[in-house]
Structure formats: structure tokens, C-alpha cells
Amino acid sequence: MPDLPYEAYELVEHLRRTVTDDERVLAAIADTPRDRFVAEHLRPYAYEDTALPTEAGQTISQPTIVAMMTAALALAGDERVLDVGTGSGYQAAILARLCREVVSVEVVDSLRRSAADRLQTLGIRNVTVLQAGDVLGAPELAPFDAILVAAAAPSVPDALVAQLAPGGRLVIPVGSREVQELTRVTLQEDGRRTEEHLGACRFVPLIGPGGFESEAP
């Protein structure tokens, strides 16, 4: 691992003790400066194990959840990964260090643009950040070996399972708007799908196709 600020080192060691001993995942988190993905006034808290607010009412996920979701994808290095909900770009930056290519989609245009600029500034070249359209994911670019969704759905969206390659994994929070279960779906080679529940979590709701209806203001 690189020479890290003390706070970043402490966070990685905390994740090693509590979430995963996968050295590739831990190294990817260590190599990704979380303080570059939050507002300047929040940088003193960037390496705490907590979610932080970002732009447009969104959040950057708690590092424990990021590590858990990333490890659950079981990436070997040559995969194409779909990241649904770019947000700040932090999760996409970590995935980029673990796979061949990341396609990341974001519904909020200002978030998409700022995340793309941030990734470019950090020299991350294997992430394409796209504006989310009227369909969930990026079916025109499927299949993907792994899909990660950073927003909660009421059930596992069939539209995303359809974008998996045989043997592919989908990790997504599933449940109500208030509380969800982190779920891993594996598409078996024979077309069957299996589901595993990885623990309780809380994400912002996925709005639109495959997600929740927008609440009236």
C-alpha cells in the first residue's frame, strides 16, 4: 500500500478488521483519496467511517459499506463493471482499480459532470460516466460481469439482471425507502439466479425505472 495519511491508514486497518481481508480491495481503497470526493469543509472527516453529504442532496457512502459492496463483487481484474449511481465518483474510482472497465451512470447531470472531472483530474482513465436515460443501467453496453447499485430498490430489478453476463454478480440494496438489505444476485451459467443477503444498510432511493416513484414536493 502507498504511504498514507494516518487517518487513511487507520480507516483501511479498521476495514481490514471488520469487513474484508481482501488485499486488492483494501489497496484500492487506500489508493483512492476520499478527501478529494467531498467538499473542502468536510475534508477533516473524510477518513471517518461515516457517510457524508455531497451535492444535490446525495451522500458519499460509509467506507464500511463501500468495502462490503466492492468485496461482494469478487473482481479478479479483467471485468467490465456497471456502476449505477455515480454520485461523487468515489465508488467508481475504487472499482476502476480492480477491473478492466467501468461504465458509471448518473441521473443528475451536475453530479455526472463533476464526477467525470474529478476522475479525470485523478488520472483515472478506465471509467466512462454517462447520463442515465429512461431505462435502468446501460443495456446498450451490456453484458457486464458485475453491477453495483448505490441506491435502494424495492425489489431486484429484472432489467439489471438482464444486463449481467453468465456468472455475473449484481450487488444492490433492496427494501423500503427507510431500510434495506444489501443483496448479491448471481446469474448462474444455466440462467438461474441466486440471491444472498449480506446485511442491513440504508441508501437513498433509486428513483425511476426499477426503483421508487418520485415523491411529490
C-alpha cell at 179: 431500510
The string of pLDDT tens digits covering residues 65-92 is 999 999 999 999 999 999 999 999 999 9
Residue among 81, 15, 83, 94 nearest 48 (CA): 15
Residues 6 or more apart from 23 whose CB is under 8 A from it? none
User: Of the ranges 50-54, 88-92, 202-206, which one carries the lowest mean pLDDT score?
Assistant: 202-206
Q: Residue 49 pLDDT > 70, yes or no?
A: yes
Please tell me the predicted confidence (pLDDT) of residue 93: 99
- The pTM of the full predicted model, rounded to 2 decimals, is 0.94
Strand, coil or helix: 151:
coil
Residue 146 predicted with pLDDT over 90: yes
What pLDDT shows up at residue 217? 56
Cβ contact 60:38 at 8 Å: yes
Contact assessment for residue 184 and residue 170, using Cβ atoms and an 8 Å cutoff:
yes
Residue 61 has pLDDT above 60, yes or no: yes
Mean pLDDT of the chain: 94
Q: Are 206 and 151 in contact (CB under 8 A)?
A: yes
**Residue 11, C-alpha cell as written in the block:** 480507516
Domain boundaries in the chain? 53-201
- CATH number among 3.40.50.2300, 3.30.70.340, 3.10.28.10, 3.40.50.150, domain 53-201: 3.40.50.150
55-59, 121-125, 157-161: least confidently modelled range: 55-59
* Catalytic residue (one of 61, 88, 104, 114): 61
Active site residue 114: no
The pLDDT of 55-68, averaged and rounded, is 92
pLDDT at position 2, please? 57
- Quote the pLDDT of residue 1: 53
